Amino acid sequence: MTLDQVISYAIQTECSDVHITVGTNLAIRRYGVLTILGDCPPAAESKAMIYELLDEKQRAAVEAGEDLDVGAMRPDGTRIRVNVYHQRNNLAACIRILKQTIPSFEELGLPSVVKDLADLPRGLVLITGPTGSGKSTTLAAIVDYINKTRSRHVITIEDPIEYVYPHDQAMIHQREVGKDAKDFATALRSALREDPDVILVGEMRDYETISAAVAAAETGHLVLSTLHTTSAAQTVERILDACPLEGQAQMRSQLANVIRGVITQQLIPTLGGKGRTIATEIMVANLAISNLIRDNKAIQIPSLLQSGRREGMHSLNDDLIRLVQTDKISREEALKVTDDPSALEKLI
């Protein structure tokens, strides 16, 4: 079996991920469910498939014991993101298969308020959710929308580059950490001298990156980024927890001034198991929410989501109820992803 055959099969069966491990069976993830495939390929064949994804420098790095994140374009135009790592003294790789075309907000099932956030001239907009919840695709849809509708200079800082954007209305420069830039924080500071209108930061991983992203939003840019959090309140708390204790008060004030919205998302298997649909929680930072952040009362944000529906806000439970009542997902699947199962049970 060749790598092309494996990836072609994964694309045809609408899989999101392929796992290759030297010495054991291949596995695929389809609609969120992991499946171990039948026959175990020879170890040399699995290793050859992994090495086919790497250039000479990357192979040397792997042989020296390093883990790698790699973005690549297949000959058929499919873009993939690959993580190569070591386990039990053998190589393994996880291949994320990206969509060949960037979907629109409507195709993704995102609420219309996301378009309003994409139209903002400045501030910080965050896409959050667990691993595999489609954050990168939502970010790509926002950038693609800006590219098609506005004359802007967009700089992306990614690790690795996932979706590739041709110039349309916007001019887009994509920088890959490790190749075009040393790290996220360094690239962010450099971006401020490159006349950007919009800056995309693939992930806010540490305090240095968070601080640089907030500073970029303060200086009049629209900053887009992601975090691995499952609610708007948790997102605010995670940002503050990443700061040194002595800097948290200042960060609360800065964040209250620059945050414009948080889109939290989950992908949930649909009824019948033939796909997945998106459930979201939307926070739009109005004056009341900014005051809660400034006063260190982020725990009260969920109550304001309920009263902010006219501004496009809703909680995850609100969206889960909508999906259950319209027969998009089952009650059982909704209860698996909610942060507050007892409240969801009562609301249903």
pLDDT in tens, 174-231: 999 988 999 999 999 999 999 999 999 999 989 999 999 999 999 999 999 999 999 9
CB 203 within 8 A of CB 225: yes
pLDDT at 77: 78
pTM, to two decimals:
0.90
Q: How confident is the model at residue 306 (pLDDT cuts 50, 70, 90)?
A: confident
pLDDT in tens, 125-139: 999 999 889 999 999
Sign of CA dihedral 237, 240, 246, 247: negative
The yes-or-no verdict on residue 39 having pLDDT over 90 is no
What Cα–Cα distance (Å) separates residue 41 from each residue in 45, 49, 103?
A: 6, 10, 35
On the 0-12 / 13-18 / 19+ scale of CB atoms within 10 A, 132 is middle
Q: Which residue has the tokens 């806000």?
A: 313
Q: Which uninterrupted H or E stretch holds 238?
A: helix 232-241
* Angstrom distance (rounded) from CA 12 to CA 76: 13
User: How does the average pLDDT of the chain come out, rounded?
Assistant: 94
